Amino acid sequence: MLRTNTCGELREKDAGKEVTLCGWVSTVRNLGALVFIDLRDKYGITQLNVDPKIYALTNVRSEYCISAKGKVVLRSEPNKDLPTGKIEIAVTEINVFSKSETTPFELTDDTNASEDTRLLYRYLDLRRPIMQKYMKIRSDLNFYTREYMNQHGFQEIDTPTLIKSTPEGARDYLVPSRIYPGEFYALPQSPQLYKQLLMVSGADRYFQLAHCYRDEDQRADRQPEFMQIDCEMSFIDREDVLNVIEGLLKYLFKKIDNVDLPDFYRMDYSVAIDSYGCDKPDMRFEMLLNNVTDIMSKSGFKAYEGKVVKALVVPNYADKVSRKNMDLDNLTAKKFKVFGVSHVKMENGVLTGSVVKNFSADSQEKLIKKLNLKNNDLVILCGDASFSNCSYALGALRSEYGHKLGLDKKNVYKPLFLINWPLFEKEADGHYESLSNPFTRPIDEDLPLLDTDPTKVRSTSYDTILNGVELSSGALRIHDSEVQKKVFEILGLSADDINSRFGFLVKALKFGVPPEGGFGIGIERLAMELAGTDNVRDVVAFPKNLKAYEPMSDCPSFVPTADTDILGIKVVKEDTSEKK
RNA sequence: GGAUCUAUAGUGUAGCGGUUUAUCACGUCUCCCUGUCACGGAGAAGACCGAGGGUUCGAAUCCCUCUAGAUCCGCCA
């Protein structure tokens, strides 16, 4: 080893030891007759005390990669902010492994360099202690997941990442085949079909830290490639699966953040939409939506006549709301195609606001009573023909005001399972679509509804939500071929469709399928929660930007035509990459 | 596919029609300094204000187009 110790471990008790440390120069403080160097590695920072004569021999600068030999000595003036702050190294020899150019940004935790620049020099960005911490969380997450799953009888099995493209769901990333020119593999969106096949194979309890790929537009919490804690188990009911998710997440939060998660709440999908206006409710604060249709639709206000009207009460906020606020709220609602937003204030026992004059005295009284309004409460009313649009618009405002009021506290955790989702969604043109996938098992007692009213059928699927973030989703799968047939019919899938898309799975389902179900937990989302960041890119070592582009390596890129010719592919778009 | 915001030295910012040879901080370079730890002190270099076009006597500043990034909606079975 080139070093005897890391930069994070030496303490008072080590005084007198001869050590050699390796790392990067964080800062140089040259006091003339005395030079201090902060040496940094991934474990911490140790101060080097360097004689100016020794310093002059090497003249090290920021981010040089060096080793320093010397004796551990107690500092005359300790630094209580540093774990190694009571000691320093009296350096006798410095060896420069390699010099460094001036870095394009300062490698501090509170850097304000744009993310663009940081991604271009990601290897430097990752030197920042906070990024090292994020990477550690990812590593711990993998380690403790494997530990927990193995302890609970799950077996880790890798499924392929070059698979058949199934034109269902998200857009696939395609990989051309050389041996079959013109044909393509797809990268998996999830190991979904394979894990069901594993259950048919008798694997019983499977898990995997799976790489998944989806070619869809990105978001702050969404990358084109991501990882999932993927799990499937046989001979179980819904509660069995939920208990595994709950147990695993409690274990991970305890081990990594030393947080004791409370027991997971079970919430009905319909309750989430009605009271939270959202399919991933943040239960850290109340401010539930109220349905005031019965009062407002006949209040005399024409805009709300015959509409669904819901109300959000923002307590003690009336004096803080401004014209600009209201305009922003309208903008938020517009995203959900909702325009009938109005703001009403409770002042001195009466309702005020420009729309109030349109409400009958009776309806005003009823509203105050139903919403239990107190002085200085702000009421946001939202009316729309669509119950769900109205709920979603107000749900978005609930989140915004909750945030403004500081109710979304970082150190509070409110996990829940969202259950009893509808199995199907009826599209505008009248045809049915699966809300999850065509293999999702309906709730047994709703089976008769498959023949009468498919939209009323509830599914066994479940989402795990933590503080408004969807951490995982899963479901039980259909194991009865008659039910499966019926679901395919409702979805309007012909025998040919089924055969070409997932014929191999349907075939396997004829050979004895156990009752089974499972889940996939988004590892990056979970890491974000554990790390307390709201940007996925923070917890991914080399992430893509919003356009699925990776600036550091300039990826994706054009390839020589010889390489595409052999694949039987003709590239139409010209290579214009010299501009970069 | 759509909406919003952003673009000024290496980094982050100020300036938002003319006293600007563009502000400040950090960083960089030189010199001084024996206990710093966001070291301190003195000095220096470094930007044609994202690109193109227009309005104007005059544009970093106003308008248009484009480019790049960020955030959201659609999308993500």
Q: DSSP readout, A167-181?
A: -SSSPPPEEE-SSST
Question: CA dihedral in degrees (A482, A483, A486, A488; nearest 10)?
Answer: -110
| CB A29 within 7 Å, strand B | yes
pLDDT score for A573: 77
According to the model, what pLDDT value does residue A522 have?
A: 96
Q: Is the CB of A223 under 7 A from strand B?
A: no
Q: Which nucleotide is nearest to A190 (CA to C1')?
A: B77
Nucleotide whose C1' lies closest to the alpha carbon of residue A579: B67
Are A293 and A309 in contact by the 8 Å Cβ rule? The answer is yes
In 3D space, the residue among A408, A406, A418, A404 whose CA is nearest the CA of residue A332 turns out to be A404
Q: CB of A104 under 7 A from strand B?
A: yes
What whole-number percentage of chain A has pLDDT above 70? 98
A435 C-beta less than 7 Å away from strand B: yes
A322 touches A339 (CB < 8 A): no
Name A473's Cβ contacts closer than 8 Å, sequence gap at least 6: A436, A461, A462, A463, A464, A519, A520
Strand B lies under 7 A from the Cβ of residue A385: no
pLDDT of residue A580: 36
User: What amino acid is encoded at A526 in this protein?
Assistant: L
Whole-prediction pTM: 0.93
What whole-number distance in Å separates Cα of residue A293 and Cα of residue A306? 9
Spell out the residues 6+ positions from residue A195 whose beta carbon is closer than 8 angstroms to its own.
A159, A206, A208, A230, A231, A232, A518
pLDDT for position A339: 76
Residue A121 vs residues A64, A66, A189, A255, A550: alpha-carbon distances, Å: 16, 21, 29, 32, 11
- Which residue spans within A395-524 are E strands per DSSP? 415-419, 424-426, 432-434, 462-466, 469-477, 516-522
- Report pLDDT for A575: 66
Cα gap A344→A311, rounded to integer Å: 10
Strand B within 7 A of A386 CB: no
Q: Looking at residues A83-105, what average pLDDT do you find?
A: 95
Dist CA A53 CA A133 (whole Å): 36
- pLDDT at residue A579 is higher than 70: no
What average pLDDT does range A524-536 have in this prediction? 94
Instruction: Judge if the beta carbon of A100 is closer than 7 A to nucleic acid strand B.
Output: no
Q: Left (φ > 0), alpha (ψ -120 to 50) or beta: where does A406 sit?
A: left
Could you tell me the pLDDT band of residue A459, with boundaries at 50, 70 and 90? Answer: very high
> Would you put residue A413 in left (φ > 0), alpha (ψ -120 to 50) or beta?
beta
Our measurement of CA A550 to C1' B39, in angstroms, reads 39
Scan residues 323-362 of chain A and list those with Cβ within 7 Å of strand B: 335-336
Asked if residue A431 keeps its beta carbon closer than 7 A to nucleic acid strand B, the reply is no
Q: How would you class A451 by CB atoms within 10 Å of its CB: exposed for 0-12, middle for 13-18, buried for 19 or more?
A: exposed
Q: What is the pLDDT of residues A261-296, one digit of tens each?
A: 999 999 999 999 999 999 999 999 999 999 999 999
Which nucleotide minimizes the distance between its C1' and the CA of A520?
B77
pLDDT at position A578: 42
Contact A17, A71 (CB under 8 A): yes
CA-based R_g, chain A, Å: 30
Report which residue type is found at A545. N
Alpha carbon A409 to chain centroid distance? 17
Q: What single-letter amino acid sits at A190?
A: S
When comparing pLDDT for A59 and A540, which is higher?
A: A540
Residue A235 has pLDDT above 80, yes or no: yes
List CB contacts of A367: < 8 A, sequence separation 6 or more: A292, A295, A296, A311, A351, A359, A373, A379
Q: Which positions 201-220 on chain A have a beta carbon less than 7 angstroms from any atom of strand B?
A: 214, 216-220
Identify the residues numbered 233 to 272 in chain A whose C-beta atom is closer than 7 Å to any atom of strand B. Answer: none
Looking at residue A576, what is its pLDDT? 58
In this predicted model, what pLDDT tens digit does every residue of A118-132 receive, in sequence order?
999 999 999 999 999
- pLDDT above 80 for A574: no
**pLDDT tens track for A134-164:** 999 999 999 999 999 999 999 999 999 999 9
Query: What CA–CA distance (Å, rounded) separates A467 from A475?
Result: 21
Q: Could you tell me if residue A514 is left (phi over 0), alpha (psi between -120 and 50 degrees) or otherwise beta? A: beta
**DSSP 3-state of A395:** helix
CB A48 within 8 A of CB A91: yes
Q: Is the peptide bond before A556 cis (omega within 30 degrees of 0)?
A: yes
pLDDT at res. A234 = 98
Average pLDDT over all residues of chain A: 92
- Minimum-distance nucleotide, CA of A214 to C1': B76
Protein-to-nucleotide distance from the CA of A434 to the C1' of B73, whole angstroms: 22
Which residues, including other chains, have CB under 8 Å from residue A223's CB and lie 6 or more apart? A524, A536, A537, A540, A543, A544
For range A500-506, the mean pLDDT: 85
Cα A336 off chain centre by: 22
CA nearest to A517, candidates A433, A440, A445, A464: A440
The whole-angstrom distance between residue A466's C-alpha and the CA centroid of its chain comes to: 10
Q: Measure A392 CA to B57 C1' (Å).
A: 55
Strand B nucleotides within a 7 Å radius of protein CB atoms = 1-2, 10-13, 26-29, 32-40, 68-77
Residues 72-91 (A) near nucleic chain B, CB < 7 A: 75-79, 81-82, 85, 88
The answer to whether A115 CB sits below 7 Å from nucleic acid chain B is yes
| The pLDDT of residue A116 is above 80 | yes
